[in-house]
A and B are shown apart, each in its own frame.
Chain A
């Protein structure tokens, strides 16, 4: 018996269904490929929210701003090939906010830490204490496990199935 594994993409995804005798807002049902087909590059759109924690999805295309966060984050590439460049933060670059990603505002000044080139299914550590930048020649999709922060975009009414 052979199997065919179905993995969505920007060009081809088959969204599921939600049929409930309940308020659909309680379930916030969305699809990351559909969202990234409509969003601007590196708009970090919240798709899951658990009190202070969240998951964001972003369309990776071109170069992102430099980001940092006061805690670890984790990125999972769901489509495409994405480069993640890492630099160590200098003391005056370290974030002072509580949680979530924030733009650095300028190129990082610290030591280069390294680079990861990741493709579909790869998970990348975005470590606390680092600045990171994403680059992708072609449109891709990245899912980020993080906390809600200054760069998190909430537009639940636009992305979720409501009826």
Chain B
């Protein structure tokens, strides 16, 4: 593999705007990013790759918002990032058999903050007002065409994590009409009420409940899990899902999905090769592990509610990578 490790600060370098379409190109380390009306073109020292612009921008803003998440974020089968929790790899073809065999694969390691700044800079230049890559396609405009007015809203939103549990005094609060989050059209048929809470004086920060479904139904973002409750390093995230997960996620640890409403169809691939392993359809009440040796990509025909359970213990990525932990959650002796 052709690799570069860059420990010193790397700045993203912007070109002058294209005279026809108005977008800038960007050089970041060995990678060059260019967009036109329909596509993003990624160039690196020995290769080039093209990604449809909507898919690229949907992936990039989530990668920023997730803090590069756990493990691998494949924008598609060729290009993506891997989080090392302090550094981030950007790769092209590094997990693609054809690219590796022909020697055109490339991977460069950067400091996390540098990648974040670079991705934010690129996204801001390439996202026009009226197009929101965090929204479902039915709820936003098109990213296609020439540069217009840059989007004025926040590039990322909806990622603020609860510290103990949503709604507790001093913690992040659930979404509401007052916070500017109406019930999404896809959940308008549901009834939402609030739990009845009786609290004895002095226990206001201990006796607590809220309507989790109401909180999810008000999400104005998709495929964007955010922390709702945390005990030790056990993290519960919830998210509303519609259309397709705009990345292929290869986790560096096991995670679990619990389908709360509706259904999601998951394509499962081998993490290293990308070869298909098959398909899982999860419906309301279904629980399924996503092992540490796969890539997965979800498709939600109707907006649905998904719960994700993660183990945030530091260093787990290395234990799975070196084989200290098996890449699936229920070991043989437990069956």
Contact = CB atoms under 8 A, between A and B. Distances in A.
Interface in B256-298: 256, 258-263, 268, 276-291
A15 B196 contact: no
B195 A8 contact: no
Given A22-B277, A27-B289, A8 B234 contact: no
Interface string A15-55: 11111111101111111111000000000000111110101
A150 interface: no
Contact of B261 (A7, A34, A99): A7
Interface string A69-104: 001111010100000101010000000000100000
A114 B207 contact: yes
A146 B231 contact: yes
B186 interface: yes
B231 A74 contact: yes
Nearest to A120: B213
A115 B196 CA distance: 8
Contact of A147 (B212, B214, B232, B280): B232
Nearest to A159: B287
Contact of B209 (A18, A49, A124, A143): A124
Nearest to B259: A16
Given A48-B309, A116-B207, A121-B211, A145 B200 contact: no
A5 B335 contact: no
B283 A13 contact: yes
Interface in A124-158: 124-125, 127, 129-130, 143, 145-147, 154, 156-157
Nearest to B213: A121
Interface stretch (B45-53, B75-83, B153-161, B326-334): B326-334
B303 A3 contact: yes
A121 B289 contact: no
B189 interface: yes
| Chain B CB within 10 Å, residue with most, of A21, A84, A125 | A125
Contact of B329 (A20, A33, A49, A116): A49
Contacts of B187: 3, 5
| Chain A CB within 10 Å, residue with most, of B203, B262, B284, B334 | B284
Interface in B205-259: 206-214, 228-229, 231-234, 236, 253-256, 258-259
Contacts of A120: 213
Interface string B157-173: 00000001110100000
Contacts of A76: 212, 307
Contact of B192 (A22, A72, A121, A123): A121
A73 B231 CA distance: 7
B199 interface: yes
A115 B313 CA distance: 32
8 contacts: A13-B284, A16-B263, A34-B285, A48-B289, A49-B334, A50-B311, A50-B329, A53-B231
10 smallest beta-carbon distances between A and B, as pairs: A121-B213, A20-B278, A53-B234, A26-B328, A8-B285, A114-B207, A8-B284, A48-B256, A16-B281, A117-B196
